[in-house]
Amino acid sequence: MKIKIIGVGKLKEKYFKQGIEEYAKRLSKFCTFEIVEVPDEKAPETLSQAEMEQVMAKEGTRILEHIKDREYVYALAIKGQERTSEAFAKEIDELSTYGHSDITFVIGGSLGLTPAVLKRADTQISFGRFTLPHQLMRLVLTEQIYRAFMINAGSPYHK
């Protein structure tokens, strides 16, 4: 099984990198794990709606370049469906059982994801209505993916 996270922008904070590296190391016994960083589009603090759409479109194009046809895609979106850790684990298990061995998660930039990326996604997932920095979201998502594998393995990690 291959798990990939596509994130907009570079991960700068050392402590986020260290946390992700730790979970990536733990995940290596369950899957091939990869993080792909696509460049964020430089933009001024205040943007018109048209400028926001342009930024999102450019970032969306960069994201879509890294998604293959066979990949099952989760888009992280505030309006996505929330899941419990147990439901998420079951979903991952069922995907791998029914032929989806390449799973990709997409985390947008500060403006979110373009409609083209959301359309390509097989499902949208939400971690609640909070807005989280996309760097932190990478760490949270990586931990939840690890947690899903541990739940599926019957490990007490989840308790």
- pLDDT tens across 33-80, in order? 999 999 999 888 888 999 999 999 999 999 999 999 999 999 999 899
The structure's pTM equals 0.95
| pLDDT in the model for residue 133 | 86
Binding-site residue numbers are: 76, 108
Q: Report residue 40: phi and psi, to 5°.
A: -85, 155
Instruction: Write down the architecture of domain 2-41+52-158 according to CATH.
Output: 3-Layer(aba) Sandwich (3.40)
pLDDT of residue 129: 87
What lies within 8 Å, CB to CB, of 104 at 6+ separation is 3, 4, 5, 6, 66, 67, 71, 72, 73, 74
Reply yes or no on whether the pLDDT at 151 is more than 70: yes
State the average pLDDT over residues 95-104.
Answer: 94
- Give the start-to-end residue ranges of the domains of the chain: 2-41+52-158
Instruction: Identify the residue with better confidence: 77 or 134.
Output: 77
pLDDT surpasses 70 at 159: no
Q: Which amino acid is at 37?
A: E
**What mean pLDDT is reported for the chain?**
94
Annotated binding-site positions for S-adenosyl-L-methionine: 76, 108
Q: How far apart are CA 11 and CA 13, in angstroms?
A: 6
Assess contact for 45 and 13: CB atoms under 8 A.
no
Strand order in the sheet with 123-126: 32-38, 2-8, 102-107, 72-82, 123-126
16 contact partners, CB below 8 Å, separation of at least 6: 135, 136, 138, 139
Inform me whether the pLDDT recorded for 158 exceeds 80. no
The pLDDT-based confidence of 131 (bands split at 50, 70, 90) is confident
